[in-house]
Amino acid sequence: MTIELPHGDEASAATALPRPGAVLELLKPVTWFPPMWAFGCGVASQPGPVGARIGVILSGIVLAGPLVCATSQAVNDWFDRHVDAINEPGRPIPSGRVPGRWGLGIACGWTLLSLFVAALIGVWVFVAAALGLALAWAYSAPPLRLKQNGWFGNSACALCYEGLAWVTGAAVMADGALPDWRIFIIAFLYSAGAHGIMTLNDFKSVEGDRRMGIGSLPALLGVERAARVACIFMAIPQIFVVALLTLWGCPVHAIIILLALIAQCLLMPRLLENPRARAPWYNGTGVTLYVLGMLVSAFALRSILAGGA
């Protein structure tokens, strides 16, 4: 399938400039929150004076959201332009508002800008950003195109959006040192849970995924079964977080996260009644509780590492 340009003039489209609003839409600011939040959780989890490193912290937040995450969105939209022509033809590339090969150019330019900013911040930040960008390209671009399989693709996204961003924030606060092993464990657990959140985001594109051979979990398993799998993926890691924080001497934080998890589980049956229609609703309720639990876990880690637990 090919994309038909709105005016049928490919030559003029190749030289036309996209409008700033269309470029901003391509970079999808609404998607920047998860990695920025995870980066903030990483900052909160590592003891140290925030004020003394506020400039680096703000740079890291920009790197996590408007740069690395935005790059992943541009890369995905370029290599998904044929699928989007079916699912969401009004998006910037299939609609022609980002014409010609501008989508690919923006993705490449944002990749280089992200690496440049990461290098200015520090070695560990650069390593994490480079890994995140590599996964972003591997997720969408051939020959790997990890999103062809929902198990692999969702894992790559979840690792970038949650785990890498969290560890990077902690490394910034640790002045470039390797964060404590407990931070890695909690960041990994929340990354595993985010696999389920990624599945919720795939319900809206299931028809196009099936037609184009993209094996998202709703396309592979069916909508109802994929919704159950998403709920399991979100719940089980939080159980481990509760257990670990209790073991490490933070029972109050563990109880708060447990209560948030119970609330999520009470909301899940409503999601399962109609996953496609109610996935946005659950994102605003259950997933909100999930990310608030991340911050509670971050404060627990800070207390543990500071010797206060």
The 3-class secondary structure across the chain, one letter per residue, is: CCCCCCCCCHHHHHHCCCCHHHHHHHHCHHHCHHHHHHHHHHHHHCCCCCHHHHHHHHHHHHHHHHHHHHHHHHHHHHHCHHHHHHHCCCCCCCCCCCCCCHHHHHHHHHHHHHHHHHHHHCHHHHHHHHHHHHHHHHHHCCCCCHHHEHHHHHHHHHHHHHHHHHHHHHHHHCCCCCCCHHHHHHHHHHHHHHHHHHHHCCHHHHHHHHHHCCECHHHHHCHHHHHHHHHHHHHHHHHHHHHHHHHCCCHHHHHHHHHHHHHHHHHHHHHHHCHHHHHHHHHHCHHHHHHHHHHHHHHHHHHHHCCCC
Q: What is the mean pLDDT of the chain?
A: 92
Alpha-carbon gap, residue 267 to 158, rounded angstroms: 22
Q: Is residue 157 scored above 80 in pLDDT?
A: yes
Report pLDDT for 4. Answer: 45
Percent of the chain with pLDDT over 90: 81
Q: For residue range 255-292, what is the model confidence (pLDDT) as tens digits? A: 999 999 999 999 999 999 999 999 999 999 999 999 99
Report pLDDT for 204. Answer: 83
Q: With bands split at pLDDT 50, 70 and 90, how would you rate the model's confidence at 41? A: very high
Q: With bands split at pLDDT 50, 70 and 90, how would you rate the model's confidence at 14? A: low
Residues whose CB falls within 8 Å of the CB of residue 110, separated by 6 or more in sequence, listed in order:
27, 67, 70, 71, 74
Report pLDDT for 297. Answer: 98
Average pLDDT over residues 234-241: 98
Report pLDDT for 34. Answer: 94
Report pLDDT for 8. Answer: 44
Report pLDDT for 307. Answer: 84
Report pLDDT for 275. Answer: 94
Which of 131-145, 153-167, 180-194, 204-218 has the least mean pLDDT? Answer: 204-218
Q: Which fold has domain 19-305?
A: Farnesyl Diphosphate Synthase (1.10.600)
Q: Is residue 213 scored above 90 in pLDDT?
A: no
Q: For residue range 60-72, what is the model confidence (pLDDT) as tens digits? A: 999 999 999 999 9
Report pLDDT for 208. Answer: 79
Report pLDDT for 5. Answer: 45
Alpha-carbon gap, residue 305 to 42, rounded angstroms: 13
Report pLDDT for 15. Answer: 58
Annotated domain spans of the chain: 19-305
Average pLDDT over residues 161-189: 93
Q: Tokens for 30?
A: 């609404």
Report pLDDT for 7. Answer: 44
Give the global pTM: 0.90
Q: For residue range 94-108, what is the model confidence (pLDDT) as tens digits? A: 999 999 999 999 999
Report pLDDT for 3. Answer: 42
Q: Is residue 6 scored above 80 in pLDDT?
A: no
Q: Is residue 84 scored above 90 in pLDDT?
A: no
